[in-house]
């Protein structure tokens, strides 16, 4: 099953973060397209948005990163079971030269007592440079489930792709909003993978995000 919903993005001031909001057209696609806009403009931040490189293609015809993005951590704003209004943040460090533009990120739940459902209409994505200025990112979010696999993966595709080269080290922050936290406490793991730009991108695993949920009623 491949679920998508057409989306249009607006920036809303929620806790100072740019947030994607969407208007659903159908149940089978989720897409978002806007220009990248700096929340706090400066020439230094604008330099982050200049595309400077395409993907590196090897003999197998696939496109690769030269320097991989680094998965840093995952955290939830609310960590008790069955709670609403949580956001799961995934922080990824982007090197100064990835060797290939970053086309997409994939988040897949790999462990946990139940499958968590997400509201793609409230997906968050932005740059967090060391300067502290946040820069909104445009793109689309899709929920994909293969018929032979129970897990659903979320693929966030950036439009335009995130440039490979930058004068600054940057962090890319991706936030996912579940409809609710899981009913059961315990450890929930999410694999994080990245794909470069190009006709035949080679998806590369970055690491696991670990979230712990607690039942305080016990």
CATH code, 96: 2.60.40.1510
Q: Is pLDDT larger for residue 44 or for residue 29?
A: 29
> Hey, what are 39's tokens?
């929340």
Average pLDDT over residues 69-80: 96
H or E element in which residue 73 lies:
strand 70-76
For residue 161, tell me if it sits in a domain.
yes
User: pLDDT value at position 59?
Assistant: 65
Which of the residue ranges 60-69, 99-108, 205-214 would you say has the lowest mean pLDDT? 60-69
Whether residue 202 is predicted with pLDDT greater than 80 in this model: the reply is yes
User: pLDDT value at position 2?
Assistant: 53
The total number of residues shown for the chain amounts to: 218
Whether residue 206 is predicted with pLDDT greater than 70 in this model: the reply is yes
> Residue 120: what are its φ and ψ, rounded to 5°?
-65, -20
- The whole-angstrom separation of Cα 101 and Cα 54 is 6
User: pLDDT value at position 133?
Assistant: 78
| Total domains, the chain | 1
For residue 77, tell me if it sits in a domain.
yes
Tell me the residue range of the domain where 118 lies: 2-28+62-213
User: pLDDT value at position 93?
Assistant: 94
Query: Mapping DSSP to helix (H, G, I), strand (E, B) and coil, where does residue 120 land?
Result: helix
For residue 44, tell me if it sits in a domain.
no
- Residue 25 CB-density burial (10 A; 0-12 exposed, 13-18 middle, 19+ buried): middle
Average pLDDT over residues 113-126: 93
Average pLDDT over residues 20-39: 31
For residue 53, tell me if it sits in a domain.
no
User: 94 pLDDT band (50/70/90 cuts)?
Assistant: very high
For residue 95, tell me if it sits in a domain.
yes
Whether residue 135 is predicted with pLDDT greater than 60 in this model: the reply is yes
Provide the CB-side half-sphere exposure for 181 (13 A, CA). Answer: 24
For residue 116, tell me if it sits in a domain.
yes
Query: Mapping DSSP to helix (H, G, I), strand (E, B) and coil, where does residue 173 land?
Result: strand
Q: How big is the CA angle at 37 (ends 36 and 39), to the nearest 5 degrees?
A: 140
For residue 75, tell me if it sits in a domain.
yes
Question: Of all residues in the chain, what percent carry a pLDDT higher than 90?
Answer: 54
Sequence-distant (6+) residues with CB within 8 A of 105 are 90, 92, 155, 156, 172, 174, 192, 193, 194, 195
* Residue 53: alpha-carbon gap to chain centroid: 21
Provide the CB-side half-sphere exposure for 63 (13 A, CA). Answer: 19
User: 129 pLDDT band (50/70/90 cuts)?
Assistant: confident
Tell me the β-bridge partners of 76. Answer: 88
User: pLDDT value at position 55?
Assistant: 55
Q: Is pLDDT larger for residue 8 or for residue 194?
A: 194
User: pLDDT value at position 37?
Assistant: 29
- Residue whose pair of structure tokens reads 């590369």 in the numeric block: 204
Provide the CB-side half-sphere exposure for 119 (13 A, CA). Answer: 16
Cα distance between the two ends of the chain: 38
User: pLDDT value at position 148?
Assistant: 72
Whether residue 10 is predicted with pLDDT greater than 60 in this model: the reply is no
CB atoms within 10 A of CB 201: 19
- The whole-angstrom separation of Cα 62 and Cα 82 is 42
Q: Is pLDDT larger for residue 160 or for residue 24?
A: 160
User: 168 pLDDT band (50/70/90 cuts)?
Assistant: confident
């Amino acid at each position: 099953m491949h679920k998508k919903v057409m989306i249009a993005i607006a920036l809303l001031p929620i806790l100072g973060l740019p947030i994607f909001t969407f208007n659903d057209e159908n149940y089978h696609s989720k897409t978002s397209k806007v220009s990248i806009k700096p929340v706090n403009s400066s020439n230094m931040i604008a330099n982050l948005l200049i595309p400077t490189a395409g993907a590196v293609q090897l003999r197998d015809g696939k496109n690769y990163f030269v320097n991989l993005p680094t998965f840093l951590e995952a955290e939830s704003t609310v960590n008790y079971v069955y709670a609403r209004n949580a956001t799961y943040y995934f922080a990824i460090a982007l090197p100064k030269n990835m060797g290939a533009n970053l086309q997409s990120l994939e988040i897949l739940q790999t462990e946990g007592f139940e499958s968590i459902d997400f509201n793609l209409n409230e997906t968050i994505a932005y740059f967090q440079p060391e300067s502290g200025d946040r820069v909104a990112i445009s793109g689309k979010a899709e929920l994909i489930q293969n018929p032979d696999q129970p897990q659903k993966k979320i693929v966030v595709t950036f439009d335009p792709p995130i440039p490979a080269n930058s004068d600054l080290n940057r962090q890319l922050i991706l936030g996912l909003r579940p409809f609710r936290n899981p009913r059961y406490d315990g450890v929930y793991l999410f694999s994080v993978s990245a794909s470069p730009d190009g006709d035949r991108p080679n998806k590369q695993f970055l690491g696991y995000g670990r979230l712990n949920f607690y039942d305080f009623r016990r």
